[in-house]
Structure 1
């Protein structure tokens, strides 16, 4: 059994999509800043693919009642084929991964990411507040020892 024409259409479309989308499309090339931080762009990639076709009876054979709808080529009796395929790729920036100063942060591109930024900063805020209370307690303990 030979290859069906739709196989060639699908193969060509998939190879073209494969050439467009690679790992560098999703996670971009890192960029180093003057302060030593490294910035890595991160994107969301969505792919779509469709293919279809139809076999047609030649005009002189229409109405003869032949069973030609099985999709298999039969040598000289192969039906004419018409088809097409297509694909699409959407690349949407998500944010930037920033590595520097002993931290790794994701800076989202979406302006509605305020809640996420607040959640990201809460641990640092808790550490700073805890440090202030500990420092105040240590200062009070030191003052109590000096008075005694």
Structure 2
């Protein structure tokens, strides 16, 4: 049995998508900086695919209609079809590896501010504890 034209459209479109989207699209190629750190881009990939088609008869529909059960039916009707795809690649983060550390730096500004705040909280807590110890020690010295 011969391949239906819509199958060819779908096959060609899917092969093109396969060529465009691979693992290296999501986790990009590493880039080494002058100080020895390695930066690896991480992206979000979204894609959509659509195809469709129809067969049209030239004259009376009942006369030219193809019957799947009729193996002797060699009459062809015109076919019209189309297929398409859309792909978006959006960077979401950069993984920075070097100096014995690994850090994930998100591209989203809101997340970056939150991460900076979370990194800052322990520093503030330690600073407050050290000041409290100094104050407690100076009070004890004044009592003696």
Out of 84, 87, 100, the residue aligned to residue 85 of structure 2 is 87
Matched, 1:118 2:117: yes
Structure 1 residues 126 and 117, CA gap change in structure 2 (3 angstroms): closer
CA deviation string 1:37-56 (max 9, x = no partner) = 11001111111100000011
CA drift of 1:103 comes to: 2.0
Contact 2:66 2:75 in 1 (8 A): no
Match of 1:145 in 2: none
Out of 89, 93, 109, the residue aligned to residue 107 of structure 2 is 109
CA deviation string 1:51-93 (max 9, x = no partner) = 000011113xx15x34826678965222211000011110111
Question: What RMSD, in angstroms, separates the aligned Cα atoms of the two structures?
Answer: 3.0
Measured in 2, the distance between the counterparts of 1:73 and 1:82 equals 22
TM-score, structure 1 as length reference: 0.72
Measured in 2, the distance between the counterparts of 1:70 and 1:14 equals 29
Match of 2:65 in 1: 68
Structure 1 residues 72 and 112, CA gap change in structure 2 (3 angstroms): farther
Match of 2:98 in 1: 100
CA drift of 1:7 comes to: 0.3
Measured in 2, the distance between the counterparts of 1:9 and 1:36 equals 47
TM-score, structure 2 as length reference: 0.74
Measured in 2, the distance between the counterparts of 1:91 and 1:16 equals 16
CA drift of 1:99 comes to: 1.0
Match of 2:138 in 1: none
